[in-house]
Structure 1
Amino acid sequence: MTIESGGWVTMGEVAEKAGVSKITVSRVLRTPDKVREETRERVRAAIAELGYVPDEAAGGLSSRRSRIVGAVISTLAGSTFASTVDGLGARLRQNDHQLLLAGTDYSSAKEAEAVGAMLGRRPDGLVLTSTAHTANARQTLAASRIPVVELWELPVDPIGYAVGFSNRDAGAAMARHLLATGRRRMAFIGTSGEGDRRGRLRYEGFAEILADSGLAEARATAASSGTQTARGARGLAAVLERWPDTDAVFCSSDALALGALSEAGRRGLRVPDDLAIAGFGDFEFAGEFGLGLTTVRIPGLRIGETAAQLILDVNAGIEPASRTVDLGFEVIDRSTT
């Protein structure tokens, strides 16, 4: 915004400059077709000269709509939620809404703080990429009376709505894929931390299928510090130190898999001949023009778009057919397995 004479340029200043009333300025901004062309041009010239920016918050209060949607994201680093945020923001912008972001580093306590700050802005809706909330945060969200959408998971009892897929089923699907390639001594590489619920679900689905097969059992390790790539490298080193006969690893993210691939290269292991490596997410670098990584593709962009549309629909009085939207996933077989 532009600051002039120690404060914000006001609608009254624009009106005085243009020689019209404040209501006329408001009409030019909101319903210009109702104002004569000559008057519109005079008001617009005054706006340009003074650098006036409409107070969207004040307008939102009068209509009980802020046209802001808050998104509390588990991590803003790397590619994990990038496509989801892109889809969310694009759909909101198409409908004259703005996206306000906050990161939590997978911490429920930080999420609770972010939720409180977001609600102070009176958003039209909130999007959360975690379903692990503190009791106070969950109570506050439930009492907010705005649409709340949880993403990337399908909780049994969502606070409001949920858009995503089954992480447990995705882990199970990768286990079936690796079994079909003849692998029998498999490990799971994840990250430790109280907020990595989705990683645990992927491991549970993975381990369950291996156990049920009677052919293999899952080995697991997790790294707690460093970048995702560094954790993946240290995770593979730990796996091979404890279980040197491991013939496949499933990583909880593509970034972890990148680290595992790097560590395998340093050890002179041939992928996939000596060791198969799979990831999760199908980030851009995992594709055929990048690593050629076998992975689980999730519809990140569609998740964001669908969440945004849910919020827009609910605020327009359109009740969704279901509180949960399952967009599924797909195992992508590439050269690393």
Structure 2
Amino acid sequence: MVTLAKVAEAAGVGESTVSRVLRNHGSFSRKTKDRVMEAVERLGYVPNRIAGTLASAGSRLVAMVIPSLTNIVFADVLRGASGILEENQHQAVFSVTEYEPEKEEALVAAMLAWRPTAVMLAGFEHSNGTVKMLRASGCRVVELLDLDGAAQDLAVGFSNRAAGSVAADFLLKRGYRKIGYVGHDLDRDTRAAKRFAGFRETLGAAGFPLVDSEIHAGASSVEGGRLALERLLTRMPGLDAVYFSNDDMALGGYFHCLARGIQVPERLALFGHNGLDIGRVTPQPLSTIRTPRVATGRVAAELVVTDAPSQVVDLGFELIEGATA
């Protein structure tokens, strides 16, 4: 294996000089940089970024513990964060919990063993073990995509309860009264559960309680939304609107309507959550709430690299009227 020491020997400089050149940080001459880079190319040296981070006096490792990679929401958050972290010479690593609190606890323990400068997680709901480890770690903690709860340190996102309430208010103002709900596992996806709670509360306060709901057993998906809507309409064919836990599920519902000849929104209105690009380019753009996913990752990373004081950042959300409700 080609090591940093071998590159330094080939370039005729010290290891610390090679490290400065590769990190593009600190003082070195153009001539020295050319000699180091020539040696790197000739020897085929690949820097061990993580080892370099762990060896530094102050770790620049940022651990991102996310629920899913199949949901584009979290990919967008990663995209927003990674650019800022890279610009500021921080190294991002991530792991996936599949919405399981026990798995999140195990992954947080593994990440903290690397002594990161910060840990980013989705939401406020974590196991007691996870919370204790984070509090004892001394690193920054950033909770993402939710503001309905108490932040441990930094929080960036929006109120899911408010998003659900706004969706209900929109449907009521459009004249819909027989409203149902299609969702996925609310015990594991606590942010979806908060949206559902805000939605139901607003309907009930207006005197038009939710008629019925269908919860898909498993993670959210287009297929899950299609099957769940079919089951819901079999029980309640008189519904005039359905609120979905997210756009994936709503698109599945939309495809079911297309296949069965159910006119949208004349016969049945559909409303989603997240504002995914695919929902914007369907034959009838999806009515939904657009969430600031990329901005959430970007702002969270900025707070970390600037070592900002503990705070809560509300980025809000946007109602997209679309054409399905």
Structure 2: which amino acid aligns with 1:10?
T
* Residues 117-132 of structure 1 mapped to structure 2, 5 A cutoff: 117-132=110-125
Cα separation, 2, equivalents of 1:263 and 1:31: 54
In the TM superposition, residue 319 of structure 1 has moved relative to its aligned partner by 2.3
* Residue segments in structure 1 that go unaligned for 5+ positions in a row: 4-8
Classify 1:187/1:133 alpha carbon distance in 2 versus 1 (closer, same or farther; 3 Å): same
CA contact (8 A) 1:211 1:218 kept: no
Cα separation, 2, equivalents of 1:215 and 1:36: 73
- Look up the SS of the partner of 1:232 in the other structure: helix
Cα separation, 2, equivalents of 1:93 and 1:35: 21
Classify 1:144/1:231 alpha carbon distance in 2 versus 1 (closer, same or farther; 3 Å): same
CA contact (8 A) 2:124 2:150 kept: no
What percentage of aligned pairs have identical amino acids?
A: 37
Structure 2: which amino acid aligns with 1:145?
G
- TM-score, with length taken from structure 1: 0.89
CA contact (8 A) 1:313 1:319 kept: no
Classify 1:176/1:28 alpha carbon distance in 2 versus 1 (closer, same or farther; 3 Å): closer
In the TM superposition, residue 31 of structure 1 has moved relative to its aligned partner by 6.9
- Look up the SS of the partner of 1:114 in the other structure: helix
Instruction: Select between 105-114 and 52-61 the one with higher mean Cα deviation.
Output: 52-61
2:252 pairs, out of 253, 259, 268, with: 259
Q: Which 4+ runs in 1 deviate beyond 6 A?
A: none
Classify 1:335/1:225 alpha carbon distance in 2 versus 1 (closer, same or farther; 3 Å): same
Cα separation, 2, equivalents of 1:256 and 1:150: 25
Cα separation, 2, equivalents of 1:267 and 1:23: 68
> Counterpart of 1:334?
322
* Residues 2-81 of structure 1 mapped to structure 2, 5 A cutoff: 3=1, 9-29=2-22, 34-81=27-74
Classify 1:18/1:265 alpha carbon distance in 2 versus 1 (closer, same or farther; 3 Å): closer
Instruction: Select between 303-312 and 125-134 the one with higher mean Cα deviation.
Output: 125-134
In the TM superposition, residue 219 of structure 1 has moved relative to its aligned partner by 2.3
- Look up the SS of the partner of 2:89 in the other structure: coil
Classify 1:157/1:47 alpha carbon distance in 2 versus 1 (closer, same or farther; 3 Å): same
- Look up the SS of the partner of 2:72 in the other structure: coil
Cα separation, 1, equivalents of 2:212 and 2:243: 10
Matched, 1:135 2:135: no
Classify 1:255/1:26 alpha carbon distance in 2 versus 1 (closer, same or farther; 3 Å): closer
Structure 1: which amino acid aligns with 2:267?
D
> Counterpart of 1:246?
239
Matched, 1:88 2:78: no
1:221 pairs, out of 214, 225, 231, with: 214
Classify 1:179/1:51 alpha carbon distance in 2 versus 1 (closer, same or farther; 3 Å): same
Map Cα deviations across residues 46-68 of structure 1 (whole Å, 9 max, x no partner).
22212223444454345433322
Classify 1:225/1:142 alpha carbon distance in 2 versus 1 (closer, same or farther; 3 Å): same
Classify 1:46/1:221 alpha carbon distance in 2 versus 1 (closer, same or farther; 3 Å): same
* Residues 177-192 of structure 1 mapped to structure 2, 5 A cutoff: 177-192=170-185
Structure 1: which amino acid aligns with 2:321?
D
Cα separation, 2, equivalents of 1:333 and 1:192: 26
Classify 1:218/1:200 alpha carbon distance in 2 versus 1 (closer, same or farther; 3 Å): farther
Map Cα deviations across residues 95-130 of structure 1 (whole Å, 9 max, x no partner).
122221211111111111211221122222111113
Instruction: Select between 222-231 and 57-66 the one with higher mean Cα deviation.
Output: 57-66
Structure 2: which amino acid aligns with 1:319?
P
Cα separation, 1, equivalents of 2:162 and 2:25: 53
- How many residues end up aligned between the 2 structures? 325
In the TM superposition, residue 191 of structure 1 has moved relative to its aligned partner by 0.6
Cα separation, 1, equivalents of 2:103 and 2:65: 10
Map Cα deviations across residues 33-52 of structure 1 (whole Å, 9 max, x no partner).
74454444333322221222
> Counterpart of 1:324?
312
Map Cα deviations across residues 221-273 of structure 1 (whole Å, 9 max, x no partner).
20113761121112111211221111000101000001111112222210000
CA contact (8 A) 1:165 1:326 kept: yes
In the TM superposition, residue 28 of structure 1 has moved relative to its aligned partner by 4.2
1:311 pairs, out of 290, 304, 313, with: 304
Matched, 1:281 2:303: no
In the TM superposition, residue 75 of structure 1 has moved relative to its aligned partner by 0.9
Cα separation, 2, equivalents of 1:218 and 1:312: 48
In the TM superposition, residue 305 of structure 1 has moved relative to its aligned partner by 0.6
